[in-house]
């Protein structure tokens, strides 16, 4: 079965001009791929830029365009004498591995959780869009980009609603206070359960402060969350408290 993309590639690859039959179709095809890659990956990069992430528009464009260029080099960039024995997917496989390391650099692990996973995912997705454009699979690139943007925008709202019902709290309190006991006591009074509790000593703190991270689940909704936070501040004598995944 021949797809629309393959038919377009066939037509353009056979497009030649002049008495010497210059293959201008290949140039036009590569130009379409690069322009489309810029537009599609740019949408993902703009979303990251708006949210103030370290890997923004330029980073995503560089990853996407670089992937597209390497894919086109894999297809066109070698002498015809080797064409019968060439595997065009070999360079693409190396791109996937290389961008995987780049995405890993965007991930930050802290006691309060892991940050940068979504940005690492969008970098990897930008590479996939670039490979799709560079291999002239334009429809896959268009559909994939549409779904990626939907995940980053629409599903973000769904994620926020879920996190509001199950917020993760990070608080810092003096080490000489029975912090864990008081957290459990306050949680019992408010009819909520505590999960995934972890503690860590705060380095350089004169009062040997501890940072406690835990998830709290309210059985009857989170209407009393701010009242719960206020009571925690009072009982544990916390010096710092914030809620992850809550707006």
Query: Taking every pair of C-alpha atoms in the chain, what is the biggest distance, in angstroms?
Result: 89
Token code pair at residue 99: 């961008």
Tokens of 167: 């917020």
Asked if 158 and 171 sit in the same domain, the reply is no
Q: Regarding predicted confidence, which is higher, 196 or 247?
A: 196
Model confidence pLDDT, tens digit, residues 13-33: 888 887 777 778 888 899 999
Where does the pLDDT of residue 223 fall: very low under 50, low under 70, confident under 90, or very high at 90 and above? low
Q: What is the mean pLDDT of residues 71-90?
A: 70
Answer whether residue 63 shows pLDDT above 50: yes
Q: Whole-angstrom distance between the N-terminal and C-terminal Cα of the chain?
A: 49
Same domain, yes or no, for 134 and 13? yes
Average pLDDT over residues 76-86: 61
pLDDT band at residue 65 under the 50/70/90 scheme:
very high
Extract the runs of DSSP E, i.e. beta strands, from 129-185: 168-173
Same domain? For 64 and 175 the reply is no
The range of the structural domain enclosing residue 149 comes to 4-163
pLDDT in tens, 121-140: 899 999 999 999 998 999 99
Backbone angles phi, psi at 173, to 5 degrees: -140, 160
- HEC string of 68-111 equals HHHHHHHHHCCCHHHHHHCCCHHHHHHHHHHHHHHHHCCCEEEC
pLDDT tens figures, 82-121: 555 667 777 788 888 888 777 777 776 555 556 778 888 8
**Residue 108 has what pLDDT?**
64
* pLDDT tens digits, 49-62: 887 777 788 989 99
Shared domain for 138 and 32, answered yes or no, is yes
User: Is residue 80 over pLDDT 60?
Assistant: no
Tokens of 25: 């179709």
| Minimum mean pLDDT range among 103-112, 217-226, 231-240 | 103-112
Burial string for 203-230 (b: 16+ CB within 10 Å, else e) reads: eeeeeebbbbbbbbebeeebeebeebbe
One domain for residues 56 and 136:
yes
Q: Are residues 220 and 111 in the same domain?
A: no
Could you tell me if 42 and 77 lie in one domain? yes
Hey, which bits of 149-191 come out as E strands?
168-173
Q: How many domains does the chain have?
A: 2
* pLDDT tens-digit series, residues 149-203: 998 888 877 776 766 667 788 888 887 778 888 888 888 888 888 887 888 887 7
Q: Which of 119, 148, 163 is at the close of a domain?
A: 163
pLDDT of residue 148: 93
- The single-letter DSSP state of residue 190 is T
In contact, 71 and 134? CB cutoff 8 Å = yes
For Cα atoms 117, 148, 169, give the angle at the middle one, nearest 5 degrees.
35
Q: Cα 209 from chain centroid? A: 33
Asked if the model's pLDDT at residue 1 lies above 70, the reply is no
Under the banding of pLDDT at 50, 70 and 90, the label for residue 247 is very low
Contact 147, 128 (CB under 8 A): no
Mean of pLDDT over the chain: 81
162: three-class secondary structure by DSSP: helix
The partner residues of 75 in beta bridges, in order of sequence, read: none
Whether residues 120 and 178 share a domain: the answer is no
For residue 164, the model assigns a pLDDT of: 66
Note whether 133 and 217 are same-domain residues. Answer: no
Q: Which of 163, 192, 219 is the last residue of a domain?
A: 163
Residues 28, 126, single domain; the answer is: yes
């Amino acid at each position: 079965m021949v797809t629309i993309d393959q038919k377009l590639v066939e037509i353009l690859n056979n497009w030649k001009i002049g008495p010497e039959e210059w293959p201008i179709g290949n140039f036009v095809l590569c130009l379409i791929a690069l322009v489309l890659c810029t537009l599609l990956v740019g949408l993902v990069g703009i979303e990251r830029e708006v949210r103030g992430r370290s890997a923004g528009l330029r980073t995503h464009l560089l990853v996407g365009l670089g992937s597209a260029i390497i894919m086109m080099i894999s297809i066109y960039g070698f002498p015809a004498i080797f064409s019968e024995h060439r595997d065009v997917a070999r360079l693409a496989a190396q791109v996937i591995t290389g961008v995987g390391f780049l995405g890993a650099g965007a991930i930050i692990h802290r006691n309060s959780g892991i940050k940068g996973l979504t940005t690492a995912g969008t970098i990897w997705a930008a590479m996939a869009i670039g490979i799709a454009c560079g291999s002239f699979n334009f429809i896959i690139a268009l559909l994939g980009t549409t779904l990626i943007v939907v995940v980053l925008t629409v599903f973000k709202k769904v994620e926020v609603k879920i996190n509001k019902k199950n917020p993760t709290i990070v608080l810092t309190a003096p080490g000489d206070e029975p912090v864990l006991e008081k957290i459990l006591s306050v949680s019992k009074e408010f009819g909520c359960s505590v999960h995934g509790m972890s503690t860590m000593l705060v380095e350089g703190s004169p009062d040997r402060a501890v940072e406690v991270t835990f998830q709290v689940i309210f059985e009857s909704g989170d209407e009393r969350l701010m009242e719960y936070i206020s009571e925690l501040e009072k009982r544990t004598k916390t010096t710092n408290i914030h809620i992850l995944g809550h707006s």
